[in-house]
Amino acid sequence: MLSRRDFLQVAAATTVLTGAGGGLARAAALQALSQRDLLQFEALGQVTLLHFGDIHAHLTPLYYREPSINIGAGGAAGLPPHLTGDHLLQAFKIAPGTPEAYAFTCSEFEALARGYGKLGGLDRIATLVKAIRAERPHQTLLLDSGDTWQGTYVSLQERGADMVRAMNELGVDAMTAHWDFTYGTERVKELVAQLKFPFLCGNVQDSTWGNWAFDGSKIFERGGVRVAVIGQAFPYTPIANPAWLIPGWTFGIHERRVQEQADQARAAGADIVVLLSHDGFDVDRKLAARVKGVDVILTGHTHDAIPQAVRVGRTLLIASGSHGKFLARLDLEVKDHAVSDYRFRLIPVFSDAIAPDPAMAALVAGIRRPYQAELGRVLARTETMLYRRGNFNGTFDDLICDALLAERNAEIALSPGFRWGPTLLAGQEITLEDLYEQTAITYPAAYRQSMTGAELKAAMEDIADNLFNPDPYYQQGGDMVRVGGISYAIDVAKPMGQRISELTLARNGTLVDPAKSYVVAGWASVRQGTQGPPVFDVVRAYLERQKSVSIPPRQLVRVSGADPRGIAACG
């Protein structure tokens, strides 16, 4: 099974790890990383659900560092997914240094990444899906929680058509959506028409008459069981992303509608009900406790990779990670119209251990071919690891903020707290493709405007409440806005308007004056008519001038009031 490249990687990882103790066991674990082991699963019951979401248009393998800071607000404090690094390892009894430790956490990330290599790749996922379908013929449903069509250079050029082709080839059975809507109303309709499977968004209405705009659910028969799948699009799409791109559609959580759809599905003969959701994990945890008769929620949006199913009453919640890093397998035994037993595994898609599926590999190569020269264009090299995911600034965000400050001649930079965007290791080249994987959106204007200190604080308070409101229904999704040129303190436990303090200018250490105006540069404004050059052009110009960047983690944000299990020291 081991190729030469694998062997070299194993050798390199062993060298790194033996220094930390337990080296032999870790080396053995590395040797055990085979396709067969990743597919190892004792089948159970009549139905297998396969699930992924938040793939963000990634067709090829990548590094993605899970967050070191993911703080749980209110009742979610200290519960999965708000366990990071070693806290997660302990809670799920995962040994440090193992493939699972690397896949699920940021612990020792950089060293382990060099050993275990990249994860994901749609050709590898296709191999796993085909193998499981062969093992469980006519018993398997493949479901995608959305955020599928956006996130790369190619998907931006193709306006999502690349991902529709790839998902049709993979044989997805149903999807729901969020970022997918950012191509605009007309394009969404075109892409939905190209899908060979239903686009389920039960919570989207036309805003004039209140009619439901899409199919909300579909009943599938698998292994003699009638499985109803209800789709739930991201409830705050027109708030978190530009409403002007999708005029005429209104979203929302609509508990009563979910209940009605579940009841109707049961009345129509469904044995079990699955909610295919882009709500975010904490929203779904609350929803699960308030809606009856939903057996499984396949969650998405918040990018959480939770190694086990989470139970809320009679509902199982599955969180399958992002960027194609994982494929979730949930086997269900169904008796008397209810789930009587289940078995679950979140399979990390180790790209070096899984043979690519030839058909999908050819499709992916064909999709990328017209863009190959642009994708591989080297802009600079990084001397330090660049990552984004986490509640506050990642180093890739710091780089973008540096570019905004320099290229737009601003005092303060703001960069959105998106959860998507892969990781680059120290010493890697930064290609045009890498840059777009952090910035590829349909409203990329990098604005430059004057803001008073009071306005800045109000904006930051607003965004902080969207992340740390103790009631998840008031959380809008996304991590905290990233900042450049300033530092601040945040008490996440305080109410809205009182969390942010000590806003300080980095260049001279003085406090931001509420009455004074500052020049602020940023991007991804949801306002129509925002002026400025596209952010990818701004950062590209900066990188080409710098040639090499070095961005060690910065201590820009001092956090208090947080449950400590959501904060980890990581590699």
Partner 1 sequence: MPDSDPHIPATTRRQFVLATGGGLLAAALAGLFPTAAAADATDVEKWLAAFSPAKPTPGKITIGAPDIAENGNVVPITLTVDSPMTAQSYVKGIAMAAEGNPLPAVTVIELSPANAKAEVQFRMRLAKTQTVTAVALMSDNTLWSATKTIKVTIGGCGG
By the criterion CB under 8 A, which residues form the site for partner 1?
Answer: 147, 178-179, 209-210, 234, 236-241, 243, 250-253, 416-420, 459, 462-463, 465-466, 469, 471, 473-474, 476-479, 481, 496, 524-526
List the structure tokens of 95: 């040994």
Coil, strand, or helix at residue 415?
A: strand
Q: How far is the CB of 484 from partner 1 (least distance, A)?
A: 15
Nearer to partner 1, 213 or 364 (CB): 213
Distance CA 225, CA 213 (A): 28
Strands 249-250 and 272-277: unpaired
Cis peptide before 81 (omega within 30 of 0): yes
Strands 517-523 and 446-452: antiparallel
Distance CA 243, CA 237 (A): 8
Q: How far is the CB of 237 from partner 1 (least distance, A)?
A: 8
Q: How far is the CB of 23 from partner 1 (least distance, A)?
A: 39
**Cα dihedral sign, 18-19-20-22:** positive
Q: How far is the CB of 374 from partner 1 (least distance, A)?
A: 24
Helix and strand counts by DSSP (H, E) for the chain: 19, 23
Q: How far is the CB of 172 from partner 1 (least distance, A)?
A: 21
DSSP symbols for 477-542: SS-PPEEESEEEEEETTSPTTSSEEEEEETTT-PBPPTTSEEEEEEE---STT--S-BHHHHHHHH
Q: How far is the CB of 427 from partner 1 (least distance, A)?
A: 28
Q: How many residues belong to the chain? A: 571
Q: How far is the CB of 155 from partner 1 (least distance, A)?
A: 14
Nearer to partner 1, 130 or 494 (CB): 494
Nearer to partner 1, 375 or 481 (CB): 481
Distance CA 350, CA 224 (A): 33
List the structure tokens of 59: 């067709």
Nearer to partner 1, 178 or 345 (CB): 178
Contact (Cβ atoms closer than 8 angstroms) between residue 160 and residue 182: no
Distance CA 48, CA 128 (A): 13
Q: How far is the CB of 311 from partner 1 (least distance, A)?
A: 25
Q: How far is the CB of 146 from partner 1 (least distance, A)?
A: 12
Nearer to partner 1, 462 or 544 (CB): 462
Strands 296-299 and 315-319: parallel
Q: How far is the CB of 467 from partner 1 (least distance, A)?
A: 9
Nearer to partner 1, 199 or 418 (CB): 418
Nearer to partner 1, 116 or 443 (CB): 443
Q: How far is the CB of 248 from partner 1 (least distance, A)?
A: 12
Contact (Cβ atoms closer than 8 angstroms) between residue 40 and residue 406: no
Nearer to partner 1, 519 or 526 (CB): 526
Distance CA 111, CA 425 (A): 9
Nearer to partner 1, 233 or 363 (CB): 233
Q: How far is the CB of 538 from partner 1 (least distance, A)?
A: 18
Contact (Cβ atoms closer than 8 angstroms) between residue 128 and residue 354: yes
Distance CA 295, CA 333 (A): 12
Q: Using CB atoms within 10 Å of the CB of residue 423, give its burial: 0 to 12 exposed, 13 to 18 middle, 19+ buried.
A: buried
Closest CA to 124 of 423, 356, 327, 409: 356
Q: How far is the CB of 236 from partner 1 (least distance, A)?
A: 6
Beta bridge partners of 142: 50
Q: Using CB atoms within 10 Å of the CB of residue 547, give its burial: 0 to 12 exposed, 13 to 18 middle, 19+ buried.
A: exposed
Nearer to partner 1, 96 or 417 (CB): 417
Contact (Cβ atoms closer than 8 angstroms) between residue 570 and residue 107: yes
Nearer to partner 1, 306 or 456 (CB): 456
Distance CA 137, CA 147 (A): 28
List the structure tokens of 275: 């909610």
Nearer to partner 1, 202 or 348 (CB): 202
Q: How far is the CB of 258 from partner 1 (least distance, A)?
A: 14
Q: How far is the CB of 62 from partner 1 (least distance, A)?
A: 17
Nearer to partner 1, 239 or 425 (CB): 239
Contact (Cβ atoms closer than 8 angstroms) between residue 305 and residue 326: yes
Distance CA 330, CA 143 (A): 11
Contact (Cβ atoms closer than 8 angstroms) between residue 375 and residue 433: yes
Distance CA 11, CA 13 (A): 5
With the CA atoms of 156, 158, 164 and 167 taken in that order, what torsion angle do they form, in degrees rounded to the nearest 10? -70
Nearer to partner 1, 489 or 526 (CB): 526
Nearer to partner 1, 482 or 565 (CB): 482
